[in-house]
Amino acid sequence: MTKSILFAGVGGQGILLASKLLTAALIESGYDVKMSEVHGMAQRGGSVTTQVRFGDKVHSPIIGKGDADVLVAFEPMEAIRWLDHLKPTGRIILSTGTIPSAVILSGDVDYPQGIEAYLKEHVDLLSMDAQAMAVELGNSRAMNVILLGALAKTLNLENTDWIALIKDEVRPEFFELNKKAFTVGFEQ
Amino acid sequence: MKKLWTGNEAVARALYEASVTFASAYPGTPSTEILENLVQYRDKMYVEWAPNEKVALEAAIGASMAGVRSVAAMKHVGVNVAADPLMTLSYTGVNGGLVLITADDPGMHSSQNEQDNRIFAKFAKIPCVEISGARDAAEAIRESYHISETFDTPVLFRMTTRVCHSKELVEEGERVEVEPIPYVKDPGKFISSPASSRRKRPGIEERLKRLAEYAETTPLNVEEDNGASIGVIASGVSVHYAKEIFGDKANYLVLGFTYPLPVEKVRAFREKVETCYVIEELEPFLEEQIRLAGIEVIGKELVPVMGELNVDILREVLLGEKPEYQDAPEELLVNRPPILCSGCPHRGFFFEAKKFRDMIVTGDIGCYTLGASPPLEVSDSVVCMGASISMAHGVYAGLSKHGIKKRIMAVIGDSTFMHSGITSLMNSIYNKTPTVNVILDNRITAMTGHQENPGTGYNLMGEKVQEIDFEKLVRALGIEKVLTINPLKLGSVREAIKECLAYEEGPSVIITRWPCALKRYSEEDHKEFNLKAPKSVVIDDLCRGCRNCVRTGCPSIRFDKERKKASVDEHSCVGCGVCRESCPFDAIVEMGKI
C-alpha cells in the first residue's frame, strides 16, 4: 500500500529540507520512496510543493487528487489550494501564519477569512502557529522542522531516530535549534 | 548504499560511470542540474556552460570527432537552437560516442511552449532513448554510448520534467574506464559538402534499418507478461502511471528505445492481449509507428495529446473512474503567481519604463519575463531566447514603410543576450533601426537557479575567467550610444530611457548593472556594489496612502486598505531602496534614519 505525503507552501519556507528529512527516515525504515520537486519559474514567490510517496513498491512519483494521507501545509491558503489532493480520511497539519500573495499585498484583494475554521469542520486538522513557535525558539526558519515533528508523530514510524537524521542533515550550529523545533512539533 | 536521486542526478552519475569526458550545456529548466551534478567528477571530466545550445552541441561534436565520449544537455527548446548541427551530425556520425540529452517540459511548468522532441529523432534519422525515472539512468546511458559508437550515430536521450525532478532509489554503479578512440583524419566522414553528404545519405537509411533490428533485441525494451488480457505499451514516466492503475492486471511493454520502434516485438506483444493501450505524453510518437505497421491499438483517441499526464487523467480516460476528493470553496482561495523577488534589480527598471506611454516593449526569456505581469505590465511580447532585439528591429522597420513612428524598446537579460541577442543586435546596427535595447545585467543566469555565464567572470568549475564586458562588446559591434546605469536609481533609469528614445542615429543600448538579490555574491560583487544597504521603513505619519510604492510590485510592501497606509516587511526587505525612491512624500526611509 503506497502512502502519500504532500508538502505545500511558498518558495523559501524550507519545504525541501522537511521533505528531505522525511525521505531519509522512510529509507531508513526500509520503504521504497519516490519524491517530486518543483524547480524554475514557480519558485519565484509562487506556490510550491514537494510530493513524497512511500510503500513496498511505489510507481507514480506524483500525488493525485484524493490521494494524500497527510497534507503538511506551511500556509493556510496553500492548504486550501491542495485540499483536493487530500484523501477523504486524510489529515492536514497546518501552520496558521499567513503569507499574503501579490494581489493581497497590494490591497486589491483581502486575505480569505475563515480557512482554519473551514478545515476544522471538514478534515482531520492539526493546526499550530509554527512560525510564531519558531520565532520563540529563536529562529523563524525552524518552522519546517516543527511541522516535520508533528508529521513524525502522525506517521509513527517505528525505530526511526529522527534526531540523528537531523544531525546528519543540518549544519552543526543549527542542530540544537532544530532538535528543539522537532521536539516542540512532535508534542503538538 | 542506495541513493534517493532525481533523474538529473542519476543521469549525471551514469555519464561519469560511462567514462564521458566532455560535457557542455546551456542551463534550462528542467535540464540544468545534470551539468551542475557533473562538477563533482571534475577530476575525470571536462564540464562547461556554453553561451547557447548550438555552441554546446558543436563543442560536443568536436570532442566526439577527437575520439572522446561527449554529451550535450539542454531543455526542449534548446534543441531548436541546436537543430542546425544536429541535422548534419546525423550525416557525419561520431568517433567517440555522443549523446544529446533533451529535457522536455510537458505541461509547461517553466517553458514558453511544449514540444515532443522525440520527433527530432525521426527528423534527424537518429535513435531515441527514453527513461521512466532515475532508476533507469545507468543502463540507458551506458547503452546509449554503446549504440552511438556501434552504429556511428548521435543518440537523442529524452527526459521530461517529472523524470528530471522526481527522485527514485538508485544503486550507485562502478565507473568503467573507456579510452579515447584514436583520431584519424577522415575528411570523407566529417566534411559535409554536397558531394560527401550525397555519398553518406544512403548510409543513413541503412543505419536506420540496422537500428530497427537492434530495437528488437535491446535490453532497453522490456516486456512484462502477467498473463493479462490488457496490454500497455508505454515509455517515460507514463510507465509508472500505467502500473499504478493496472498493477499486475496488465501486460507491459516498457519501451526505453523508442526510435526506431521494435515493430515485431510490439506485434508479438499485441497478439497476446485483447485490448492494447499506448500510453505516452504529448505526441502519438509510438502510436504512429505502431499503427503504420498495421497493429491495432488504443491511444490518442483517449489519452490527451496536450499537457502532462498523471494517474487521475489516465484513470478517467481509460477506466471512466474518478477519484473521491473534496473541493475547497472558491472564496477561500486566492492565486499566488510567481513574482519578481524582494530587491530584484529588474523592478526599478520596469517601474520607470512603465511611465513611458505609447511604447512597444519586446521582452525575452528569464526572470524578467515577469515584467509583463501585474502590476508592472511593461513587456508586449515574449517568443524565444534573443527575440526581443530582433523583434524590436522588425517592429520599427515594418512600421516605418507605412510612415508610422513608434517608440520601441527591447528588454533582454545578460545571459540571454549572450545566448542569442548579439546577432540580433548586429542586425539592428547593420540595418540602422533606432531601437532602445536594454540589457538587464544581474550578473548571473538567475531563473534557472544561478548559473555562471560569460559575463560573470566565473565558469561552471568555479574558476576565475575572462569576463565579457557588455559595454566594450556592444561598442565594438558599432553601438555609439551606450549607457550603463544602476537600475535601483530610478532617476538614472528615467534619464537613460529618455536619452536613448531621443537618439535617432541608430540602435542604442542601456545596460542596467546590479546583481540578483538571491545571488551568492562574488568578491568582485562585494567590491563593486553596496550590498549591505539598510532596509527600508515607512514613516506612518508621512504615508498618504498614494500606493505608488505598491505599484513597484515588491512582495515586501503591504498596503492596509482600512488605514490607507503602506508598510515594509522587515524580514524580507533587502534594502534595494526602490520603494524609497518611488515615494513622492519621502515617507519611506532607510531603517535607523527615522
Q: The domain spanning residue B547 has which CATH number? A: 3.30.70.20
B431 and B483 both lie in a single domain: yes
Minimal CA separation from A124 to chain B, in Å: 13
- Residue B24 exposed, middle or buried by CB count within 10 Å (0-12, 13-18, 19+): buried
Q: Quick one: B82 and B144 in the same domain?
A: yes
Q: List chain B residues with CB under 8 Å of A54.
A: none
Q: Indicate whether B329 belongs to any domain.
A: no
189-218 in chain B: CB under 8 A from chain A: none
Same structural domain for residues B104 and B242?
A: no
Look at residue B388 and tell me if it is in a domain: yes
Reading the block at residue B160, the C-alpha cell is 521530461
pTM for the predicted model, two decimal places: 0.97
Q: Residue A75 has what pLDDT?
A: 97
Under an 8 A CB cutoff, do A102 and B374 touch? yes
- The mean pLDDT of B520-538, rounded to a whole number, is 95
B330 assigned to some structural domain: no
**CA-to-CA separations, B83 to B79, B86, B159, in angstroms, rounded:** 6, 5, 17
- Cβ separation A114–B332 shorter than 8 A: yes
What is the rounded CA–CA span in Å between residue B120 and residue A101? 40
Chain A residues inside the 8 Å CB shell of B236: none
CATH code where residue A55 lies: 3.40.920.10
Residue B336 within any structural domain of the chain:
no
Instruction: Evaluate if residue A43 carries a pLDDT over 70.
Output: no
Return the pLDDT at B1: 76
Q: How far apart are the first and last CA of chain B?
A: 58
pLDDT value at position B549? Answer: 97
Three-state SS for B558?
Answer: strand
Same domain? B482 vs B351: yes
- pLDDT band at A41; cut points 50, 70, 90: low
A107 part of a folded domain: no
Q: Which position has the grid cell 561520431?
A: B94
Q: How far apart are CA B49 and CA B452, in angstroms?
A: 8
DSSP letter at B6 equals E
Residue B480 lies in a domain: yes
Q: Are strands B588-590 and B536-538 parallel, antiparallel or unpaired?
A: antiparallel
Q: Which of B217, B250, B280 is the last residue of a domain?
A: B217
Range B143-167 average pLDDT: 98
By residue range, what is the domain housing residue A175? 3-102+113-186
Give the best residue of B313, B336, B346, B547 to mutate against chain A (max A CB count within 10 A): B336
DSSP B563: T
Q: Which domain holds residue B7?
A: 2-217
Tell me, yes or no, whether B415 lies in a domain.
yes
Work out the average pLDDT over B99-119: 97
Minimal C-alpha gap between A186 and chain B (Å): 25
pLDDT of residue B544: 97
Residue B458 pLDDT exceeds 90: yes
> Which among B327, B329, B334 has CB closest to A109?
B334
Looking at the structure, do residues B458 and B413 belong to the same domain, yes or no?
Answer: yes
The backbone torsions φ and ψ at residue B497, rounded to the nearest 5 degrees and listed phi first, read: -65, -45
**Contact across the interface for B4 and A111, Cβ inside 8 Å:** no
Do residues B315 and B213 both lie within one domain? no
Q: How far apart are the first and last CA of chain A?
A: 27
Q: Same domain for B66 and B203?
A: yes
Distance, in Å, from the CA atom of A57 to the CA atom of B368, rounded to the nearest integer, reads 42
Strands (E), B383-538: 407-413, 436-441, 481-485, 508-513, 536-538
B445 to chain A, any CB pair closer than 8 A? The answer is no
> If you ran DSSP here, which 8-state letter would residue B478 be given?
T
- What is the pLDDT, as a whole number, of residue B85? 98
Model confidence at B93, pLDDT cuts 50, 70, 90, reads very high
Give the whole-angstrom CA distance, residue B368 versus residue B412. Answer: 8
Give chain B positions within 8 Å (CB) of A110: 561
- For chains A and B, what is the number of CB pairs under 8 angstroms? 173
- A10, A65, A81: residue with CB nearest B323: A65
Is B338 contained in some domain? no
For residue B168, the chain A residues in CB contact (below 8 A) are 34, 61
In this structure, the answer to whether residues B110 and B38 fall within a common structural domain is yes
CA distance B240 to chain A (A): 5
**CATH code, domain with B362:** 3.40.50.970
Q: What is the mean pLDDT of residues B384-403?
A: 97
Last residue of a domain, one of B197, B217, B237: B217
User: In b/e form, how buried is each residue of B55-85, taking b as 16+ CB within 10 angstroms?
Assistant: bbbbbbbebbbbbbbbbbbbbbbbbbbbbeb
In chain A, the percentage of residues whose pLDDT exceeds 90 is: 87
Are residue B238 and residue B381 in the same domain, yes or no? no
Residue B362: exposed, middle, or buried by beta-carbon count in 10 A (0-12, 13-18, 19+)? buried
Residue of A34, A82, A98, A143 to mutate, testing the B interface (most B Cβ within 10 Å of its Cβ):
A34
* Confidence at A46, pLDDT banded by 50, 70, 90: confident
Q: Is residue A108 part of a domain?
A: no
User: Which tens digit of pLDDT belongs to each residue from A83-117?
Assistant: 999 999 999 999 999 999 999 999 999 999 999 99
B571 vs A: CB within 8 A: yes
- Stretch B483-510: mean pLDDT: 98
Specify the pairing of strand B2-6 against strand B166-171: antiparallel
Q: Can you give the pLDDT at residue B437?
A: 98
| Mean pLDDT, chain A, whole residue set | 94
By DSSP bridging, strand B221-224 and strand B251-255 are antiparallel
Average pLDDT, chain B: 97
Strands B588-590 and B230-234: unpaired
Shared-domain flag, residues B72 and B168: yes
Q: What's the structural domain count of chain A?
A: 1
Residue where the block lists cell 499503427: B291
- The b/e string for B86-114 (b: 16+ C-beta within 10 A; e otherwise) is beebbbbbbbbbbbbbbbbbbbebbbeeb
Task: Identify the domain boundary among B501, B528, B555.
Answer: B528
Q: CA-to-CA distance for A109 and A79, rounded, in angstroms?
A: 19
| Co-location of B508 and B571 in the same domain | no
Report whether pLDDT(A118) > 80: yes
- All 3 cell numbers of residue B261? 520502434
ipTM of the predicted assembly exceeds 0.90: yes
Is the residue at A34 inside a domain? yes
A63-96 burial by CB neighbour count: b if 16+ within 10 A, else e?
A: bbbbbbbbbbbbbbbbbbbbbbbbbeebbbbbbb
Please check whether residues B486 and B438 belong to one and the same domain. yes
Residue linked to cell 484524493: A66
Q: How many domains does chain B have?
A: 4
Q: Tell me whether residue B296 is in a domain.
A: yes
Return the SS3 of B259: strand
What residues pair up with B158 in beta bridges, in sequence order?
B102, B130
Residue B504: pLDDT band with limits 50, 70, 90: very high
